[in-house]
Structure 1
């Protein structure tokens, strides 16, 4: 849908007022600057220094800046929540205030229940393979797109899986599923709630920014999150133990464009976006893995103890995680979504990616 510069600016300013209480004036988005020239607005909560931003968003934007001019394509990039928090990005996309942004299914469980399949535990230990298997399912023709994302007008271009989640605790290590029973564990919600319930722990949903204070004040016993998150929010200073190899799932995020904006592009412009997406997916895979490895080294240097899952205990962990996946599929089927078929497809696709 073509918009005038005045109406597009008004939409973006209104969105900024609602989300940040600050008037933000931006250039028009997804409108023809000149004939056949398009400017897209991209907004995200990740700062450029975040592994997803540094490895994915920045290369994506840079590629478009370098190659988009030849096909009449420009992009305006607003990172670090300048136009709204992550929870608000789906609404900004739907309203047309922005054209490109991330969706994180665990933040939108009610609206995107099927997309949460990507966060389930026990599917793979390799976050890059998880993302590679998922993205075709999220695009036109894919199971998740056709059954869920299409109705929301969201065209996924590339995705990332925050490396496999672990449980970090302050007072006692978690080495077996029984060790987690009765603990109060903070997490991002979504499938994390189901995993913790399967372990007999109580889930306390909150944002990463609240983890440190919750543990320091003994509000919770620990958190379930990615290893670099423990470092980036300073949580490593208040925890003493972290599982390693528990394979408790991931947090997935997908950068996409609104269907209206995508439909307004020509084939050459879409080609540039596909190429930029391929660069970004590879880059963010490497950056989040590197951030995880760096965080492990820093935590070990600070005296945090990693509890490696012993081979004798692996079957017990796998049994719990199998039940978690089965319960997710059963609940989804009962609510009317093709959850079992989608989970089976994801598991098949992961095996195919691993065999390449």
Structure 2
């Protein structure tokens, strides 16, 4: 839980009796911004940790490099507990490659598989800095990348530098990542609903939301968790296309923010981006893009790429070039804060 977050503390309701079968309550605002307490059983945590070890290559030694109050960090501790190994810990606060290398040292001295889990921002900093941090990252047997989507350019950089990443998709409600590099973990089922909604079933699921039977009934239907994400299945692999609510209605045309981000990410020099809809008197919403680059980039080239792959209506009308995207939680982009990066939006 984020320090000082009264709303998330209220969602946990520490003074109220805990629902039966609950081992832990994860406070999360998810992608909707509405604070919720996700209920997870010991069986769900164990199922996720066991399936993760099976996928990665067996129980091993772990470095905890993300906050333990979020599900990704908590699961690192659960995996270490089940493996019977000591969990090394990266001190909270500032993150850079040198600190990562120091924290990783005791794990990398161990025999057997060595693992950690990072968010995309942490991986980017390691790749940018090079040196000891990059050397340490290369020495792990697997680095799970979660909490947010891994941009294609970041995936390519990791491959080029020999960092063994495993992009993961999941959430608090699935006891952490449940789809690794497009393939569901053993015991996890994924299907796509008629509205392109990603549906998930399996032993890793939450059994509800803290003191919110209404939200529980809406999210869990016939054993399936109804995510808020759009996706598709291609050759047995899961591809997440973006949020169901990330659609921008501009001039009567519905544009997927995630599709525009993918088009921008394929452009030379673009490291990352976030696309939002801004209020506009003429268009209703105007497509706007906050972009991180590795060097000079021509806006005309970005617009041309989006027009060619997504369509004319999806071409951003406004651009802001930034050094970093505002984040909330463990590496998730704060889209509300991104909107406020544009002059006149507050």
The bucket for the TM-score relative to the shorter chain is: under 0.3
Normalising by structure 2, what TM-score? 0.27
Higher relative contact order (CA 8 A, sep 6+): 1
Which one has a larger percent helix, Structure 1 or Structure 2? 1
